[in-house]
């Protein structure tokens, strides 16, 4: 199958490495100089060092060429967007001038200004005519690039697209489970990043494994409450894109959002933490949006509120913990 991946960051590069084993893959990046370096080094030194690019992986900075790679035979192709949520709208608008077979996005989060989920952004820009869906679940780019086992969820309302994604991605050490609960899968992917910041902060304060387990468990309750209020299904949050992604992001040392929490617990300023990461931490970008969305729908999300307070309202991490511990008792 022909696959074009738009976005040569860590996750886009890792997926390109994995999928090139069984597909004809082209990786596009907007920075021509960076793509020339990738072609010369056959390695993404900026975002995914240590993982050689397969010889058969095509690289380009030419957007028209990247789209042409998948537009000739739409029934045998996939167009994958590997940008952050903040870059999704601009790429979707760029696609309006091209014949595109479908859209699969990898980003997890909400748009800051609009509080929209990724599928709502795509729908707003491109309408309903293009088959579209989200590939999500517990996945660190480094492990996918290394070929370690991984299980993901693909959510779409289009059955043919679900079958196409499974055919292209499922195999080897990657398993794909399909779903039509697009809202549930996207909410799980968005909110877990915020909860990973809380868990990182608790671990940074050395509050213990009991506290970590409590945060993960009560965090799952927050994900479920918001997801169901927005139209997602409860069972989705017990799957890969819910509890699976939550556990990985809250406990894995490769988690950028967890590292944000660890930095906050050390008293570092947010700007410095983000600069040290060198990558996007989506939990920072969407914490305020999720807090606003929850308030709009009357959903109680105390952990999310506390994280947003620590990020944007000047509340210290010890104060954040105190706020959570001082809450009145309630039924589970």
Catalytically annotated residues:
192
The Cα-based distances of 37 to 41, 68, 232 in angstroms read 6, 23, 43
Q: What are phi and psi of 267, to 5 degrees?
A: 85, 10
Pairing mode, if any, of strands 132-136 and 103-105?
A: parallel
Tell me the C-alpha distance between 148 and 97, whole Å: 38
CB-based burial label for 232 (10 Å; 0-12, 13-18, 19+): buried
Residue entry with tokens 């091209």 = 98
Helix, strand or coil, per DSSP, at residue 125: helix
One-letter-per-residue 3-state SS of 137-196:
CCCCHHHHHHCCCEEEEEEECCHHHHHHHHHHHCECCEEEEEECCHHHHHHHHHHHHHHH
Decide: 111 and 121 in contact? Cβ < 8 Å. yes
How far does Cα 272 stand from its chain's mean position? 22
Are 247 and 192 a contacting pair, CB within 8 Å? Answer: no
Q: In 3D, which of 269, 249, 265 has the Cα closest to residue 257?
A: 249
Residue (of 92, 131, 85, 122) closest to 106 by Cα position = 85
């Amino acid at each position: 199958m022909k696959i074009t991946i738009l976005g040569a960051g860590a996750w886009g590069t890792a997926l390109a490495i994995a999928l090139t084993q069984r597909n004809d893959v082209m990786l596009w990046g907007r920075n021509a100089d960076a793509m020339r370096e990738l072609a010369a080094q056959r390695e993404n030194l900026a975002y995914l060092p240590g993982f050689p690019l397969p010889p058969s992986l095509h690289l380009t900075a030419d957007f028209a060429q990247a789209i042409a790679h998948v537009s000739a035979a739409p029934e045998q192709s996939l167009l994958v967007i590997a940008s952050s949520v903040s870059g999704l709208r601009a790429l979707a608008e760029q696609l309006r001038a091209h014949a595109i077979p479908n859209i699969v996005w990898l980003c997890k989060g909400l748009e800051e200004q609009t509080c929209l989920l990724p599928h709502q952004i795509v729908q707003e820009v491109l309408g309903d005519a293009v088959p579209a869906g989200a590939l999500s679940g517990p996945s660190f780019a480094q492990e996918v690039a290394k070929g370690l086992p991984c299980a993901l969820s693909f959510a779409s309302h289009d059955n043919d697209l679900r079958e196409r994604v499974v055919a292209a991605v499922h195999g080897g050490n990657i398993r794909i489970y399909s779903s039509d609960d697009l809202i549930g899968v996207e909410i799980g992917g968005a909110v877990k990043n915020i909860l990973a910041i809380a868990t990182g902060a608790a671990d940074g304060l050395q509050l213990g494994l009991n506290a970590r387990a409590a945060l993960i468990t009560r965090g799952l309750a927050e994900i479920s409450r918001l997801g169901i209020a927005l139209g997602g299904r409860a069972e989705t949050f017990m799957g890969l894109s819910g509890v699976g992604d939550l556990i990985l992001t809250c406990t894995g040392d490769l988690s950028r959002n967890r590292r944000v929490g660890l930095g906050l617990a050390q008293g570092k300023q947010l700007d410095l933490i983000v600069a040290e990461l060198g990558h996007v931490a989506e939990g920072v970008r969407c914490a305020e949006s999720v807090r606003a969305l929850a308030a709009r729908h009357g959903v109680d999300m105390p952990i999310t509120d506390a994280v947003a307070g620590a990020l944007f309202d000047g509340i210290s991490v010890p104060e954040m913990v105190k706020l959570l511990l001082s809450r009145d008792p309630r039924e589970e």
